[in-house]
A and B are shown apart, each in its own frame.
Chain A
Amino acid sequence: MAFFKLLRQSPLSARIGLAIILINVFAAIFVPFIAPYSETEIVGDVWISASIDHFLGTDHLGRDLFTRLLYGARNTIAIAFVTTLLSFLIGTISGFFAATLGGWTDLTMSRIVDIMMAFPTLIFALMVLSVTGTSVPALIVVIALLDSTRVYRLSRAVAMDIEVMEYVEAARLRGERIWWLMRHEILPNAMPPLVAEFGLRFCFVFLFIAALSFLGLGIQPPMADWGGMVRENAGGISFGIFKGLWPAGAIAFLTVGVNLIIDWFLHIASGLKD
Chain B
Amino acid sequence: MTKLLSIKNLKIEGLTGEKWVEIVNGVDVALDRGEVLGLIGESGAGKSTIGLASMGYTRQGCRIASGSIVFDGMELFGASKAIKRKIRGARIAYVAQSAAASFNPAHRLIKQYAEGPIQHGQMSFAEAEQEAIGIYRRLLLPDPEGIGYRYPHQVSGGQLQRAMVAMAMSCQPDIIVFDEPTTALDVTTQIEVLAAIKNITRQFNTAALYITHDLAVVAQMADRIMVLRYGNLVEEGAARELLGNPKEEYTKQLLSVRTFRKETDQNDNNSNVILKVQNVSASYTGEEKVLEDINVKIRRGRTVALVGESGSGKSTLARVITGLLPPLQGKVIFEGNELPPALKSRDRESLRKMQMIYQMPDTALNPRQKVRKVIGRPLSFYFGMGGKEREDKIIDLLEKIELSEKYIERYPEELSGGEKQRICIARALAAKPNLIICDEVTSALDQLVAEEILKLLQSLQNELGVSYLFITHDLATVKAISDEIVVMLQGKIVEQGERQEILTPPHHEYTELLLSSVPEMDPDWLDNLLAERQAENEQQIEIS
Where the two chains meet, the residues of A that have a C-beta atom closer than 8 Å to any C-beta of B are 165-176, 184-185, 188-189, 273
* B368–A189 touching, CB < 8 Å: yes
* A174–B363 touching, CB < 8 Å: no
* B427–A170 touching, CB < 8 Å: yes
Point out the residues of chain B lying under 8 angstroms from A172, CB to CB.
324, 343
Give Cα A189–Cα B360 distance, bound, in whole angstroms: 18
* B351–A188 touching, CB < 8 Å: no
Give Cα A18–Cα B431 distance, bound, in whole angstroms: 48
Give Cα A168–Cα B427 distance, bound, in whole angstroms: 14
Point out the residues of chain B lying under 8 angstroms from A169, CB to CB.
324
* A189–B367 touching, CB < 8 Å: yes
Q: Indicate whether A174 sits within 8 Å of B377 (C-beta atoms), given known contacts A166-B358, A166-B360, A169-B324.
A: yes
Interface size range on B against A: 20 to 34
Point out the residues of chain B lying under 8 angstroms from A176, CB to CB.
381
The total number of A-B Cβ pairs within 8 Å is: 49
Point out the residues of chain B lying under 8 angstroms from A170, CB to CB.
356, 358, 364, 427
Most buried by B among A166, A171, A172: A166
Point out the residues of chain B lying under 8 angstroms from A189, CB to CB.
366-368
Give Cα A57–Cα B366 distance, bound, in whole angstroms: 58
* A175–B324 touching, CB < 8 Å: no
Give Cα A215–Cα B503 distance, bound, in whole angstroms: 82
Give Cα A165–Cα B369 distance, bound, in whole angstroms: 14
* A173–B343 touching, CB < 8 Å: yes
* A167–B366 touching, CB < 8 Å: yes
* A185–B366 touching, CB < 8 Å: yes
- Nearest CB on A from B440, distance (A): 12
- 15 new A-B pairs (CB below 8 Å) besides A184-B369, A188-B366, A188-B369? A166-B358, A166-B360, A169-B324, A172-B324, A172-B343, A173-B323, A173-B324, A173-B351, A173-B355, A176-B381, A184-B366, A184-B373, A185-B366, A189-B366, A189-B367
Point out the residues of chain B lying under 8 angstroms from A273, CB to CB.
61
- Nearest CB on A from B255, distance (A): 33
B378 within 8 A of A: yes
- Nearest CB on A from B240, distance (A): 43
Point out the residues of chain B lying under 8 angstroms from A175, CB to CB.
346, 348, 351-352, 381
- Nearest CB on B from A152, distance (A): 22
- Nearest CB on A from B420, distance (A): 11
Point out the residues of chain A lying under 8 angstroms from B61, CB to CB.
273
B445 within 8 A of A: no
- Nearest CB on A from B188, distance (A): 27
- Nearest CB on A from B170, distance (A): 34
Give Cα A56–Cα B348 distance, bound, in whole angstroms: 69
- Nearest CB on A from B229, distance (A): 29
When A and B form their complex, which 10 residue pairs have the shortest distance between CB atoms, in order from nearest? A188-B368, A166-B364, A167-B366, A175-B351, A166-B363, A166-B358, A175-B348, A165-B363, A167-B364, A173-B322
